[in-house]
Amino acid sequence: MENQIQKIKTDFSYYLGSWTNSYEKARVIGAFRLYEENGQLMIHITGSETGFYPGNWGSQVVKSHSYAPDTNDVVAFQTRFEMGDMEAFLAMNENKGLLIIAGYFTFKDEDERSNCFVREFFFKI
């Protein structure tokens, strides 16, 4: 008997679009946009003007995660950004209509900056 693996097409429509930080003086990310491109989920981030890495971060592929391998109920995402002197690992999940980003920031230079963790909350606009 041959094993058949069914590829499940995940519906990202709820998440697609522009999201903005719920706090106007955000520490890191001001806003982001989730979109599909060539069958992949992508994120484009704009750093907060009041944060420690302002401006355009560019775009990266986002990996989605569900509760189990045989389901397509997306509950979380992850992505990475390499930005010169800093690496950002972002873990995202949805709760009560907000997308929450937990960011782990690692600085590559040997200076006085500490690696840090920041959690920020976003609503869809």
Q: How many domains does the chain have?
A: 1
Mean of pLDDT over the chain: 89
Q: Quickly state the pLDDT bin for 9 (edges 50, 70, 90).
A: low
Q: Is residue 1 in some structural domain? A: no
pLDDT of residue 5: 43
pTM: 0.87
Which backbone phi and psi does 101 adopt, to 5 degrees? Answer: -110, 120
Q: How far apart are CA 71 and CA 84, in angstroms?
A: 37
Q: How far apart are CA 100 and CA 92, in angstroms?
A: 5
Q: Is residue 86 in some structural domain? A: yes
Mean pLDDT of 19-42: 95
- Listed residue (11, 8, 4) closest to 68, CA to CA: 8
Q: Is residue 6 in some structural domain? A: no
Q: Is residue 7 in some structural domain? A: no
Range of the domain at 93: 17-124
| Predicted confidence (pLDDT) per residue in 53-63, tens digit | 899 999 999 99
pLDDT of residue 80: 98
| Predicted confidence (pLDDT) per residue in 84-124, tens digit | 889 999 999 999 999 999 999 999 887 788 999 999 999 99
Q: Is residue 30 in some structural domain? A: yes
Q: Taking the C-alpha atoms of 77, 12, 66 and 106 in order, what is their torsion angle to the nearest 10 degrees?
A: 0
Q: Is residue 12 in some structural domain? A: no
Q: How far apart are CA 25 and CA 45, in angstroms?
A: 16
**What CATH number corresponds to the domain at position 97?**
2.40.128
Count Cβ atoms within 10 A of the Cβ of residue 12 and give its class: 0-12 exposed, 13-18 middle, 19 or more buried.
Answer: middle
Q: Please check the confidence at residue 22 and state whether its pLDDT lies above 90.
A: yes
